[in-house]
Amino acid sequence: MSKTATASFTLDSWDEDEWQESPDGMKFSRASVTKTFTGDLEGSSRAQFLFAYGQGGAGYVGHERLDVTVNGSRGTFVLQHQAVGLISDEGGAEWHIVPGTGTEDLAGIQGTATMRKLPDGGHTFTLTYDILDELV
């Protein structure tokens, strides 16, 4: 039976560097990001993202390593990010735990995470996960 952990997070740093711009308005950049989580999931993360911006739309890919306690279980794991959408979107995204990246109490973790943007500019984060004795 899957478990869930809900948290809020703050963006502690967002260091984005453009590495290419084209005459047709497209832009490519890379961002280093750090976050702090509070709630059922407590701790911090570091991430690297690659962005492509078009005229009114964007997409990104990346990886985020979380160093957290989840419902009392301590360890680290990696989320894989991938999303596309309109820049005006107020929605969110769904990410996947990279199999085999869990450590300590979180060894064997698998599942997904969802993020939703709030009207006040904040974010909610929900992790739906299982911790398996061995990965299948």
For residue 115, the cross-strand partners are 93, 125
**pLDDT at residue 127, rounded to an integer:** 97
Nearest to 29 by CA among 10, 53, 5, 46: 53
At a CB cut-off of 8 Å and minimum separation 6, what does 93 contact? 81, 83, 114, 115
Rg (CA), the chain: 16
**pLDDT at residue 117, rounded to an integer:** 82
**pLDDT at residue 119, rounded to an integer:** 82
What residue ranges of the chain have pLDDT lower than 70?
Answer: 87-91, 134-136
Q: What is the pTM of this model?
A: 0.89
Nearest to 115 by CA among 125, 130, 128: 125
